[in-house]
Amino acid sequence: MTYSAPLREMQFLLDHVVGMSDLTALDRYSEATPDLVAAILGEAGKFTAEVLAPLRRTGDLQGSKLVNGTVETPAGFKEAYAQYVDGGWNALSADPEYGGQGMPFILSCAFMEMITSANMAFGLCPMLGQGAVEALLAHAVPDLQDRYLPNLVSGKWTGTMNLTEPQAGSDVGALRTKADRQADGSYLIQGQKIFITWGDHDVAENVLHLVLARLPDAPQGTKGISLFLVPKFMINDDGSLGARNDLRVVSLEHKLGIHASPTCVMAFGDNGGCVGYLIGEENKGMSCMFTMMNHARLNVGLQGIGCAELAYQQAYAYARDRVQGVPMGTEPADRAPIFEHADVRRMLLTMKASTEAARAIAFLNANAMDLAHNATDKEDRWWNQGLADLLTPLSKGYGTDIGVENASLAVQVHGGMGFIEETGVAQTLRDARITPIYEGTNGIQALDLVGRKLAQDGGEHWQALFRRIEGFLNSLPTDGDLGAIRTDLGDALVALRQATAWIMAERAQNMRAVAAGATPYLRLFSMTVGGYLLAVGAKAAFAELKTPDADREFLQSRVVLARFFAEQLLPPASALMGPITRGDGLLFALSPDQLAV
């Protein structure tokens, strides 16, 4: 099976569902014409399929290795990364002031999905570098920006995110890495970080670490954390690379998946000479890092979607080729491909519909982020920032859950062959499994949604989104395919509204009860929004079918997938209102000793 980028699906989303035309109407993106967007997506599909996908299996088998203190990546990765940089892919949506091409961020998101489907381990490297660009643009002083951004934007240098420590985990406020002020305005960093993705490698000449650390007089907890840029190699006044900074790779983690991506234990300042530079203000590091983290959370959601898409393509290819059994209800002379069996069809449609729903959420999220930064009207910027904030936990949580679920279904479609490494689908499941964990576990995403995002601006954003969905439902006919979608999507919206009202009422008196229902609430919210966006696509497809040169098979598939999602997948999601609103009593009804029995 050869990966093929879902170009038609992506283009349809951009044109008919998420409203990219609102972006291209802005002066900033006036060059992003439909023809140029289609050309960029087409070339991205070729690059990922022809250059990155062939390295996926060999990278998994070889893995990255620590040799004499330096990380060596698998064969072909260094050359592929050079092609990636030479093609200008890293700079696609970056600021032209620092060498970027200035295209909408949503195009980089589409490309990130393609990269993940083709070679997830490779894609982790540029993903983190692009997040570092966002953090420096938003918070660094001009001198740091001028010194580091051009090579970070181009991809000549790469970036990392250093949060986690052995004793801290997701509790970032417990970190112990130290930073001491120096007379020249720099800081000396000392401490150890774990789980540092692409913390060292041989594909680029320098690595820029964004490191969270604590000053000696800092307050306790997250309020006392600062963010620092710590380069692997120091930079001379003429911009050339200087001496090696006092940092090193202690070891590489042995992981379930993404073997080609080096996950490093990093030591800073073993010899007391690790130099770092403050990003933003002292003790304001978490707000600076959240710029990078929110960027990364959407991209990790896209990684989940990339895994889901790859899993579907693997399962579909196998189901078309594998001949086994006689489908019930037919009397063929010979056995048929398993594609003809009802349960296999159910799994394939589940994978396809859920992948497209998750992709639609992520693309809408990216489009909102673009408009939040660039819309000319202040009210538009406010609304889109709130929408982006609301959708980010959905993109990350639902996108990565679907990646794991679809990869597991792909193994099931393969049957016993799915459990054999040579088919490649087991790697998809192994690689996908990290995505619900890093960049904030999906449980943390759910808590962020109920704890922060619902209350933001007095709840105006979710209320406006619900009204938008309701208005769309009222525009649908009451019969036919769209009528069926209207009924089931309407039921889901009712359940979501009731669950949200319960959460908002309980927030003031019992946050533990709210936390108990947070994860099923995230699922209900995500699936309702995903079903709505698929329905928007189905309505647009009906309109397109009336045109003379319509791609009828593709457009009809938009309608069938939206109806399948609404009829088959949304009803169980609507039933989550019960678990969401029943509080925390059952979760804490048993003591630790009782659970041990």
What are the catalytic residues?
Answer: 439
User: Under a CB-based contact definition with an 8 Å cutoff, are residues 459 and 466 in contact?
Assistant: no
What's the longest Cα–Cα distance across the chain?
A: 86
The amino acid occupying position 265 is V
Q: Which amino acid does the sequence have at 384?
A: N
The C-alpha atoms of residue 464 and residue 486 are separated, in whole angstroms, by 19
First to last CA, the chain: 47
- Backbone dihedral angles phi then psi of residue 354, each to the nearest 5 degrees: -70, -35
Cβ pair 9, 359 in contact under 8 A: yes
- Can you tell me the distance from the alpha carbon of 215 to that of 113, in angstroms, rounded to the nearest whole number? 38
- Phi first, then psi, for residue 510 (nearest 5°) are -155, 80
Q: What span, in angstroms and rounded, lies between the C-alpha atoms of 517 and 22?
A: 36
Helix 425-432 vs helix 55-62: angle between axes, to the nearest 10 degrees? 70
What is the residue whose two structure tokens read 């170009």?
A: 7
Whole-number Å distance between alpha carbons of 217 and 177: 13
Q: Which two tokens stand for residue 65?
A: 């290795």
CA atoms within 13 Å, Cβ hemisphere of 444: 15
Of 587, 462, 460, give the one whose Cα is nearest residue 522: 462
CA pair distance 468, 264, nearest whole angstrom: 45
Which residues lie closer than 8 Å to 3 by C-beta, 6 or more apart?
48, 49, 53, 117, 118, 310, 313
Residue 13 phi, psi dihedral angles, 5° rounding: -60, -45
Cα separation of 590 and 587, whole Å? Answer: 7
Contacts of 64-67 with CB under 8 Å at 24 or more apart are 64/201, 64/252, 64/259, 64/260, 64/261, 64/262, 65/252, 66/249, 66/251, 66/252, 66/262
Give the C-alpha distances (Å, rounded to integers) separating 340 from 320, 554, 559. 8, 20, 21
Q: Is the dihedral of CA 429, 430, 432, 433 positive or negative?
A: positive
Residue type, 425: V
What residues contact 69, with CB distance under 8 A and at least 6 apart?
Answer: 248, 249
**Closest to 432 measured CA to CA, from 512, 312, 584, 554:** 312
In whole angstroms, give the CA distance from residue 109 to residue 113. Answer: 6
Residues 398/301, Cβ–Cβ less than 8 Å: yes
Going from the C-alpha of 434 to that of each of 121, 259, 345, the distances in angstroms are: 11, 12, 28
Given CA atoms 100, 84, 109, 144 in this order, what sign does their dihedral have? negative
